[in-house]
Structure 1
């Protein structure tokens, strides 16, 4: 049986040799790296720059929430992108769809780097930023699922979860490139105060634009790699057999609605953790730790300070905290890759259940790790420990999703089904997470305990979905859904 299953991969008629392992890995990795780079560039700017440049309300909390609201708006556009690109991916193929999603994201990101600010054109600047942010979300809605399918549909037998981690590891790589570039630019620019741990005026004025403009270079590289791909054997087989669906969405809603629900909530904790560890922690870590520090910073910047709107953070300098985050993200990348072999060995469901339990406990420990201590070194040690643990859990929960979600759906609707589940979860998790977190942080007068409770509640919902989900480790991708087709074609006899 095993030799029969392995034969097609070496057959001359199979399209798999046209997609060698190195090309599959590179194509699935480089696209998501670029897409997440673009996303993280915006997330960093949304936390540090955009509140001042596009939402100068006079109230720091409202400006920050407004910036994160536009950041979260992209998540609303992602399911729309999932519908459009999912339809094209299931109808026309994975390769063409991935090229267009990458190009769309790259153009939107580049234009953000050219936008005039509120000072130049008033509220129109914020509206244009919103439109481009929605375009980013639309593009990312089609990117992830296609990249995951390229990886898993071309994976050797028994290594689908391992191959599925490569599009996932694009997230930590994109984070490191984006934040590393921001860090280098900020260090290289002149600092009027002489303190290079703070943001320079030049960075706030024009330096923030460079990472957005640099996206064009990365997109050109990504397009070159993806143009060299050919379609997977699974999609080619469906096309040759005439099984391509005219309306994949209708098929998914009719036959796989339960898998959509399970997949959506299975991703919920991953998304909430993802954006708390990136967008929220960057804001919390670099916010002044006390009123006096905040007042002095405002005075130095020549700005008015209202202590009634202040709530404390950890008080780290931008450069210092970004370096701490990059250390944490190294664990994110390492454990994303390690999670694949684990999920191939013990199963996707079991791996995800155990890490979700750990995320639930982690959420209840936010106050332990994130409350400022008397000794600044102890505060730094706890914060670094928080980042390492959080990003490690992120890697273990994010990695297996590259295989788990696609394995829930048949080939002819796999792009649409996995994309919709992944991106609807982005609304429930990622779109709301930074906004809810900032609101809970402000309501708690700087105590992050309720932010952690919010993560734990999300993890419990994910745990329920996982316990109701099937184990997909041993499914044959070409046979998912075949049982239902056979049952419809050959109904049981009446007597």
Structure 2
């Protein structure tokens, strides 16, 4: 008969594997998300006509980035429902295997010289389907890890999972940096443009498939989910009563998270090249330094929120990012520093002020939903909010009628940070929520 000590040891092993699995899964997820932004940037001419102006090129690049993000809510819906009805583990495996295989396919695509406009169309469509699978990964793996985590450690564990985000960003930047040394970028016939950009995509696909093997072997289904029995109607239940209120609040909060994030991760790298005249190599070095610091700050913010509470921390940080982050961003645009050291310091500070609060996302959103709808609520709350911010390039194009194009990022950042503060204010405190006890409480209908 299994003793209490053996059962405790087994639970602890399961918890560690679930935690590692969520981190690795989120890491390969975010690695895939930012491949087009970092690795493809020096080779974007491979897929688009060389006759396009800078503004049109920026819009097309934005479409490539947005395609994956727009696919994510559909993936969250499909895989969230599956995870809440049939389990978190299998949903994670299917999702990661899907985007791993398709990422390798993207690395094999021919370019504009061969397929014309069809090359970028194929790229965008593939990235959309990849987005569906990507949306399924964190929708299942993160709730599984949080359900294994004791409430007093959820902040730390959630923050560690979220470090997969900046560390993946750093990894893509490092690989891009190395590839640019091996295969320099230049005109359409340069080595990086012809084949160098493909290597990071192949690496991303291989890591995803390696993750699938680990997850199948080592991670056990959530004990909390097994205890609840699954089944039910998670999508319908999510938009009923208290669940609906929670979803609306999370949607507002995450809209602010995504909009402010895009101002840094999607827009700022391009400004480094146009405003500070950084080479692709210098841009990679700058991003590597900034996001290594951000990775540490993710954990710091999540742990601090375990003491202060999630709600006040999010409300205050939205103001800090909106005022301090925007002011520093404006200073960068006004001064256009050319010294690499100064650029690295400024970009790191901007990233810390604006992006560090993401360390709370996994833990906070999971705390807002019960077990029967947690995967669906987390996945859709996290992903559906990305749609509006994903079209940041079009908002910039509209704002450019009133201000210089490079300054259009500032109002978007202010709006995003305001949504963070308002969204946090709309919700309750969650750090002491007991998942098992909450599941036994009667649901309120409105």
Number of the residue aligned with 2:288: 326
Q: CA deviation at 1:170?
A: 0.6
On the 8 A contact 2:185/2:193 being kept in 1, the answer is: no
On the 8 A contact 2:318/2:421 being kept in 1, the answer is: yes
Q: CA deviation at 1:91?
A: 1.0
Q: CA deviation at 1:439?
A: 5.6
Write the distance in 2 (CA, Å) between the matches of 1:124 and 1:204.
Answer: 18
> Which string of whole-angstrom CA distances, capped at 9 and with x for unpartnered residues, describes residues 198-248 of structure 1?
x99211121111111122321232112211111122101101xxxx23321
Write the distance in 2 (CA, Å) between the matches of 1:435 and 1:162.
Answer: 37
* 2:95 is equivalent to residue 101 of structure 1: yes
Q: CA deviation at 1:445?
A: 3.2
* 2:352 is equivalent to residue 392 of structure 1: yes
On the 8 A contact 1:314/1:371 being kept in 2, the answer is: no
The equivalences for 1:91-490 within 5 A come to 91-189=85-183, 201-227=190-216, 228-239=218-229, 244-255=230-241, 256-287=243-274, 313-361=275-323, 362-373=325-336, 376-377=338-339, 380-429=340-389, 431-437=390-396, 440=399, 444-448=403-407, 450-480=408-438, 482-485=440-443
Q: CA deviation at 1:127?
A: 1.8
**Aligned positions, number:** 440
The DSSP-based 3-state class of the residue aligned with 1:282 is helix
The DSSP-based 3-state class of the residue aligned with 2:34 is helix
On the 8 A contact 2:159/2:303 being kept in 1, the answer is: no
Write the distance in 1 (CA, Å) between the matches of 2:393 and 2:186.
Answer: 31
Write the distance in 2 (CA, Å) between the matches of 1:200 and 1:437.
Answer: 31
Write the distance in 2 (CA, Å) between the matches of 1:30 and 1:192.
Answer: 34
Write the distance in 2 (CA, Å) between the matches of 1:80 and 1:157.
Answer: 30
Q: CA deviation at 1:471?
A: 0.3
> Which string of whole-angstrom CA distances, capped at 9 and with x for unpartnered residues, describes residues 23-81 of structure 1?
23321111111111111112224543235523545222112211211321222211110
Higher helix fraction (1 or 2): 2
Closer, same or farther: CA 386–452 of 1 in aligned 2, 3 Å: farther
Q: CA deviation at 1:440?
A: 4.2
On the 8 A contact 1:46/1:71 being kept in 2, the answer is: no
On the 8 A contact 1:118/1:126 being kept in 2, the answer is: yes
TM-score after normalising by structure 2: 0.91
Write the distance in 2 (CA, Å) between the matches of 1:467 and 1:393.
Answer: 20
On the 8 A contact 1:55/1:66 being kept in 2, the answer is: no
TM-score after normalising by structure 1: 0.83
On the 8 A contact 2:71/2:135 being kept in 1, the answer is: yes
Number of the residue aligned with 1:16: 11
Closer, same or farther: CA 280–138 of 1 in aligned 2, 3 Å: same
Larger radius of gyration: 1
Q: CA deviation at 1:100?
A: 1.0
Q: CA deviation at 1:390?
A: 2.5
Q: CA deviation at 1:417?
A: 0.8
Write the distance in 2 (CA, Å) between the matches of 1:83 and 1:192.
Answer: 41
Write the distance in 1 (CA, Å) between the matches of 2:250 and 2:148.
Answer: 22
Equivalent in 64, 78, 81 of residue 75 of structure 2: 81
Number of the residue aligned with 1:296: none
Write the distance in 1 (CA, Å) between the matches of 2:5 and 2:381.
Answer: 34
Closer, same or farther: CA 438–320 of 1 in aligned 2, 3 Å: farther
Closer, same or farther: CA 372–442 of 1 in aligned 2, 3 Å: farther
On the 8 A contact 1:77/1:141 being kept in 2, the answer is: yes
Number of the residue aligned with 2:22: 28
On the 8 A contact 1:78/1:423 being kept in 2, the answer is: yes
Q: CA deviation at 1:119?
A: 1.2
> Which string of whole-angstrom CA distances, capped at 9 and with x for unpartnered residues, describes residues 257-282 of structure 1?
11111101112232123222122111
Q: Which consecutive residues of structure 1, in runs of 5 or more, have no partner in the other structure?
A: 1-7, 194-198, 288-312, 489-495
Number of the residue aligned with 1:48: 42
Write the distance in 2 (CA, Å) between the matches of 1:334 and 1:393.
Answer: 13
Write the distance in 2 (CA, Å) between the matches of 1:275 and 1:99.
Answer: 28
The RMSD of aligned alpha carbons is 2.5
Q: CA deviation at 1:340?
A: 2.1
Q: Which consecutive residues of structure 2, in runs of 5 or more, have no partner in the other structure?
A: none
On the 8 A contact 2:36/2:65 being kept in 1, the answer is: yes
